[in-house]
Chains A and B, each alone.
Chain A
Amino acid sequence: MTEVSASVVLDLYQRMLRIRRFEEAVGGLFKQGQLPGFVHLYVGEEAVGVGVCAALRADDYITSTHRGHGHVIAKGGDINRMMAELFGKASGYCKGKGGSMHIADFSIGMLGACGIVGGGIPVAVGAGLSAKYRGTDQVAVCFFGDGAANEGSFHESLNLAATLTLPVIFVCENNGYGEFTPARQAMNIENIADRAAAYGMFGVIVDGTDALAVYMVAVEAVERARAGGGPTLIEAKTHRKGGHAEGEDAFLAGQKYRLPEELAAMAAKDPLEIMHRYIVEHAIASSGQLEEMDNAVVRAVNSAIDFARNSPEPDYASLYEDTWV
């Protein structure tokens, strides 16, 4: 741990805070009926996206999932434009046409969230293929869930990336569930990282609630990819704190699909608390300073909401824009 500088540690914490406060605000807005569509929050999983993206350069690529807000923020996305997109406003990242499941920001290498489970994985392989062809040392990362690891696209992607020694990092966010089906019921193995061996690539398991641990694993995978050493499959064991989608209680009708012991284990492993403890214990910053940081993040999120609310609706003529180039 000592090799990670104080500024990196604080940066990790701040990015996680931005995600947490953003997502909490989004959850509240959804409850009030202010957001259309489906909303999947990243609360509890912040350390994965942040740990990985902190190991990337601005010109590296990422692809994401239906649970994508955290990835955009981790990569350095603008929360004003994100919030506006969630409101469906013209000032949003995708002019209000994408919504919660479809945020992209090409300027920071964020190639898009995706409403189709497993849909973003091959895209990262293509980005890695192109980087290699163009002779850059960029890497491409795809985030995806444990559920997605059962889709054909996952297997086809790993195979091609390994066969062509592509600079691609596969980051599986194993939160133990695909919607309401437990991962243990959907696959006959405990560790998704084991699948790396089947394709001839490196596979590694990391505690996805520990941003520093994720960061260090990611740094190694990125170095390997940049140096031409090929892809890595990182399995980050994590938890989603909330439901699969916001508002699910309404249709779950009282059904409980999560075990009490699991909820207790999760409560003890909050990635922000873990990081907070680390920072204070190592005297990198004081509790007071971290609180100030938190307050600033909350203010930024609030002003993102104001920005979104005060932004215009897309005008009707925009409907036909962007169907083709």
Chain B
Amino acid sequence: MAEYRYRDALRRALYEEMKADERVFIMGEDVGAYGGAYQVTVGLLAEFGEERVRDTPLSEAIIVGAALGAAMVGGRPVAEIMYVDFAALAMDQIVNQAAKIHYMFGGQFRVPMVLRTQQGTGRGAGAQHSQSLESWFVHVPGLKVIAPATPRDAYGLLRAAIHDDNPVIFLEHKGLYAVKGEVEDEPFVLPIGQAEVKRQGQDVTIITYSRMLGLALEVAEQLTSQGVSAEVVDLRTLKPLDYATLEESARKTRRVVVLHEAVKIGGLGAEISAELSQRLFGVLAAPIVRIGAEDVPLPANLELEKLVIPDAQRLTAAVEAVMRYQPMPTNGA
């Protein structure tokens, strides 16, 4: 075991995959000489050379489009889009092309391409550099979507994403790069599509992912003083969703809060809450509560930015609400 920062765990995954398979290559803006806006690819150019670590012009559509074309004919590209916000400039290649190629052409092509990008708030970077856009991708059939919260998951899932023969959107979080955690020395791959119970509990399940995992664990810890035992489930993969794990936890605790940094309206929380409510109608002791960002663009002012996204107080209040919930008396009761 050794301690890795999130960014170093990602780099280790890239390094090992590039060593093992020369079809794997990286392209993106300032990923080479400079090592990426968040220093994930530092040192890889020196190790693997320009053919395999390409600095591109500022052209998101061609970064993704060229990765796609290369993937269709035998490459295993890992493309980087510096901020998820800039993926908007490549949405045609992601949504209309990469996601559909395998199905639309009757299974003739595989698209073993990974699109790494990062999202989220925390730097006061304003409306165009702070969004969380996972729902855009989750909504498109044909894509897989991963959002790791820990260095270990980042490592194991990035390797899995590179091995996968489908287009994978790999969503990092700008607030996690310096976070440290244990990663085994022996190489390993984690399965895509498996959530993980990050904390065991009996009374309530908090379902979350990416940077909000930290908040969930912190609040879960504080809740013990109120006698509440919270289970925290980290989705890790947002598509395909691991409903088996979610259902099992929810069946046990009978109370669920879904937490994410993305805007609540139309967010993944709505999907999860609808599905679990349907599966567990009659089992749940309280309606599922969702917590996500307010429905406003992200303001540059840091205090306002904090107001937009979920915090400990809001999460605690949500857990307390599902704990307190009393069903309405039925007619005649």
Binding site for B on A (CB under 8 A): 36-38, 88-89, 94, 96-102, 114-119, 147-148, 150-153, 178-181, 185-187, 251-252, 255, 257, 313-314, 316, 318-320, 323
Contact = CB atoms under 8 A, between A and B. Distances in A.
Given A150-B57, A186-B57, A257 B125 contact: no
Contact of B126 (A98, A148, A323): A98
A36 B302 contact: yes
B135 to A, nearest CB: 18
B295 interface: yes
B61 interface: yes
B127 to A, nearest CB: 7
A185 B55 contact: yes
A116 B129 CA distance: 8
A103 B231 CA distance: 44
B304 A314 contact: yes
Contact of B30 (A96, A99, A179, A323): A179
A197 to B, nearest CB: 20
Contacts of A187: 57
Contact of B57 (A38, A178, A252, A255): A178
A102 B297 CA distance: 13
Nearest to A178: B58
A153 B61 CA distance: 11
A150 B59 contact: yes
Nearest to A181: B55
B61 A186 contact: no
Closest 6 CB pairs of A and B: A99-B300, A36-B124, A88-B301, A115-B128, A186-B57, A150-B57
A150 B58 contact: yes
Main secondary structure of the interface of A (DSSP, over half): loop
A39 to B, nearest CB: 11
Contact of A102 (B39, B85, B128): B128
Interface of B: 29-30, 33-34, 37, 39, 55-61, 85-86, 88-89, 123-129, 294-297, 299-304, 307-308
A252 B89 contact: no
Contacts of B39: 251
Contacts of A102: 126-128, 300
A99 B296 contact: no
B127 A319 contact: no
21 contacts: A88-B300, A88-B301, A88-B303, A96-B299, A96-B301, A97-B127, A102-B126, A115-B128, A116-B86, A119-B128, A148-B58, A151-B89, A152-B61, A178-B29, A180-B30, A181-B29, A181-B55, A186-B57, A186-B58, A252-B34, A319-B299
B34 A318 contact: no
Given A115-B85, A257-B34, A323-B296, 6 more contacts: A99-B125, A114-B128, A116-B89, A181-B34, A186-B55, A251-B39
A304 B295 CA distance: 33
A29 to B, nearest CB: 14
A99 B124 CA distance: 8
A36 B301 contact: yes
Contact of A319 (B55, B89, B125, B308): B308
A33 to B, nearest CB: 12
A324 to B, nearest CB: 10
Contacts of B88: 116
Contacts of A181: 29-30, 33-34, 55, 57
A37 B57 contact: no
B41 to A, nearest CB: 13
B29 A115 contact: no
Given A180-B34, A252-B34, A37 B124 contact: yes
B125 A38 contact: yes
Given A37-B126, A255-B34, A116 B85 contact: yes
Nearest to A245: B37
B300 A98 contact: yes
A114 B123 CA distance: 17
B301 A101 contact: no
Contacts of A97: 126-127, 297, 299-301, 304
A125 B125 CA distance: 27
Contacts of B302: 36, 88
Given A320-B294, A323-B295, A115 B126 contact: yes
A190 to B, nearest CB: 15
A319 B34 contact: no
Contacts of B89: 116, 118, 151-153
B39 to A, nearest CB: 6
Contacts of B129: 38, 101, 115
Contacts of B296: 319-320, 323
Contacts of A37: 123-126, 300
B301 A117 contact: no
Contacts of A150: 57-59
B264 to A, nearest CB: 14
B57 A180 contact: no
A314 B37 CA distance: 30
Contacts of B303: 88, 313-314
Given A36-B302, A148-B58, A319 B128 contact: no
A151 B304 contact: no
B118 to A, nearest CB: 14
A187 B307 CA distance: 43
A114 B128 CA distance: 8
